[in-house]
A = this chain, B = another copy of it.
Amino acid sequence: MPALDKSLVANLPMFAGMPADDLDEIVREAQSIRYPKGSPVFQQDEEAHSFFVLLHGHLRVMKVTPDGQQVVVRFVTPGDIFGIAMAMNRQTYPASALAIVDSIALVWPSAVWPRLVARHPALAVNTIQTIGSRLQDAHTRVVEISTEQVEKRVAHALLRLARQAGRKSADGVQIDFPISRQDVAEMTGTTLHTVSRILSAWEDRGLVESGRQRITICDPHKLFMLADSPAT
């Protein structure tokens, strides 16, 4: 197996501002692992043995409640660091991560984290920014679920996905990984039935197109206006 080198990560925001030698040193401690579509990367409550950077593919991160209800925490896209439970002082993963397409990640043993952060301040600074931006997303979701009607929550969720992982297509902006109506329901605190009703109404109005595991935003501007219109 050829040695991994810095070319894998040099352009990722997570490693911005780091000298090339440092990057080589960090990447040398990682393994590259393939996760076929449908396979778990880690499970909620499992010992947090590793942390990861996604190189290719997409993952769904979800939490299951004691009585079996599921909530989508976020989707992981290439370049994201994830599974850093140990950096947050946890012994176990707080959620599960599943490959929703064939995916490849760099994998480090959790035990190397304290040394990497102590030796590479830029890594610490970037990690604080990354977790901080996830914290703001999470607070935005709390505010949306607490105060917005469900139609606006669904609009905001789709617009966020389009920003995070949108790909321009002939029909508009397609969310660049398999996503179901059930996923959207689990991101917005509502039911599959309600999401289906909303998306069908939007399709009639030409705002979105959706098929099995696929959502395209045909008119992002109109969806944005709908998401941010005053409460009625």
Report A's interface with B, CB cutoff 8 A. Answer: 63, 65-67, 69, 71, 73, 84, 87-90, 94-95, 114, 117-118, 121, 124-125, 127-129, 131-136, 138-139, 141-143, 145-148, 186, 188-189, 228, 230-231
| Smallest CB gap from A126: residue in B | B89
In the complex, chain B residues whose CB is within 8 Å of the CB of A133: 88-89
Task: Report A151 CB to chain B, min CB distance, Å.
Answer: 15
Task: Report A122 CB to chain B, min CB distance, Å.
Answer: 8
- Interchain Cβ contacts under 8 Å between A and B, 21 examples: A63-B139, A66-B228, A66-B230, A67-B231, A69-B147, A71-B146, A87-B128, A88-B129, A88-B136, A89-B133, A94-B139, A95-B139, A117-B125, A118-B125, A131-B135, A138-B139, A138-B141, A142-B142, A142-B189, A146-B189, A147-B189
What does DSSP make chain A's interface, helix, strand, loop or mixed?
helix
In the complex, chain B residues whose CB is within 8 Å of the CB of A186: 146
B136–A189 CB distance below 8 A: no
| Smallest CB gap from A117: residue in B | B125
B71–A132 CB distance below 8 A: no
For the complex with contacts A71-B143, A117-B121, 9 further pairs of A-B residues with Cβ separation under 8 Å are A73-B142, A89-B129, A117-B124, A118-B121, A121-B121, A131-B135, A138-B138, A138-B139, A142-B142
Task: Report A219 CB to chain B, min CB distance, Å.
Answer: 21
Distance between Cα atoms of A163 and B212 in the complex (Å): 45
B142–A145 CB distance below 8 A: yes
| Smallest CB gap from A74: residue in B | B139
Distance between Cα atoms of A116 and B148 in the complex (Å): 39
Distance between Cα atoms of A63 and B137 in the complex (Å): 13
| Smallest CB gap from A84: residue in B | B132
Distance between Cα atoms of A87 and B57 in the complex (Å): 29
Distance between Cα atoms of A211 and B215 in the complex (Å): 50
Distance between Cα atoms of A138 and B142 in the complex (Å): 7
Distance between Cα atoms of A118 and B89 in the complex (Å): 21
